[in-house]
Chain A
Amino acid sequence: MSAIATPLPETTVAWKLPYRGKIGIACLIIAESAIFTIFVVAYLFYVGKSLSGPTPREVLETPIFYTICLLSSSLTIHFAGKQLERGRRAAFLALWLLTLILGALFLYGTAQEWHRLIYERGLTISTNLFGTTYYSLVGLHGFHVTAGLIMLTAVLLFGLAGRVGPEQSARIDVLSLYWHFVDAVWVVVFTVVYVLGR
Chain B
Amino acid sequence: MSSDAIAIQTAEATGRPWVERLHEWVTTVDHKRLGVLYILYALFFLIIGGIEATIIRIQLMHPRNDFVSPQVFNRMFTMHGTTMIFFVAMPIMFGFANYLVPLMIGARDMAFPRLNAFSFWLTAFGGLLLYFSLLGGNGLYGAGNAPDVGWWAYAPLASRAFSPGHSSDYWTIALLVSGFGSIGTAINIIATIVSMRCPGMTLSRMPLLAWMNLVMSGMVLLAISPLSAAQIMLLVDRYLGGHFFDTQAGGSATLWMHFFWIFGHPEVYVLIIPCFAFASEIIPVFSRKPIFGYPVMVGATVCIGFVSMSVWAHHMFTIGMNSYANSFFTITTMAVGVPTGIKIFNWLGTMWGGKIQFRTPMLFCIGFLFQFLIAGLTGIMLASSPFDWQLGGSYFVVAHFHYVIVGGILFALFGAFYYWYPKITGRMLHEGLGKLHFWLFLIGFHLTFDLMHIPGLLGMPRRIYTYEPGRGWDTLNFVVTIGAFVQGIATLVFVLNLVFSYFKGAKAGNDPWDAWTLEWSTSSPPPDYNFASIPAVSSRRPLWDLKHPEDADSHYE
Which A residues fall within an 8 A CB radius of B?
1-11, 13, 15, 17-20, 23-24, 27-28, 30-32, 34-39, 42, 45-46, 49-51, 125-126, 128-129, 132-133, 136, 140
Contacts and interface: CB of A to CB of B under 8 A. Distances in A.
A27 B186 contact: yes
B125 interface: no
Contacts of A39: 229, 233
A188 to B, nearest CB: 14
8 contacts: A4-B2, A17-B195, A18-B195, A34-B225, A38-B259, A126-B243, A132-B236, A132-B242
**Among B197, B200, B218, B242, residue most surrounded by chain A Cβ atoms (within 10 Å):** B242
Contact of A24 (B2, B3, B111, B230): B111
A24 to B, nearest CB: 5
Interface stretch (B249-257, B320-328, B469-477): B249-257
B252 A10 contact: no
Contact of A31 (B1, B225, B510, B531): B225
Contact of A10 (B1, B262, B536): B536
Contacts of B237: 132
B129 interface: no
A26 to B, nearest CB: 9
Contact of A1 (B194, B224, B509): B509
Contact of B236 (A9, A10, A30, A136): A136
**Among B194, B229, B230, B232, residue most surrounded by chain A Cβ atoms (within 10 Å):** B229
A161 B217 CA distance: 38
B243 A128 contact: yes
**B interface, over-half SS:** helix
B134 interface: no
B228 A35 contact: yes
B542 interface: yes
Contacts of A30: 218, 221-222
Interface residues of B, number: 63
Contacts of A2: 509-510
Given A45-B252, A46-B251, 12 more contacts: A4-B2, A4-B3, A5-B2, A6-B511, A8-B542, A28-B183, A35-B225, A38-B259, A50-B249, A126-B243, A136-B233, A136-B236
B187 A28 contact: yes
Interface string B182-221: 0100111011101111111000000000000000011001
Contacts of A136: 232-233, 236, 242, 244
Interface of B: 1-3, 111-112, 115, 183, 186-188, 190-192, 194-200, 217-218, 221-222, 224-226, 228-230, 232-233, 236-237, 240-244, 249-252, 255, 259, 262, 509-511, 518, 521-523, 531-537, 542-543, 546
A129 B243 contact: yes
A182 to B, nearest CB: 16
A24 B200 contact: no
A17 B242 contact: no
A31 B226 CA distance: 9
B243 A132 contact: yes
A18 B197 CA distance: 10
B227 to A, nearest CB: 9
A125 B235 CA distance: 12
A129 B245 CA distance: 10
B250 A51 contact: yes
A38 B229 contact: yes
A49 B521 CA distance: 62
B534 A10 contact: yes
Given A6-B543, A38-B230, A136-B233, A23 B195 contact: yes
A128 B2 contact: no
B242 A11 contact: no
Contacts of B251: 46, 129, 132
A27 B192 CA distance: 12
B332 to A, nearest CB: 19
Given A42-B244, A126-B242, A23 B236 contact: no
A13 B183 CA distance: 34
Contacts of A11: 198-200, 534, 536
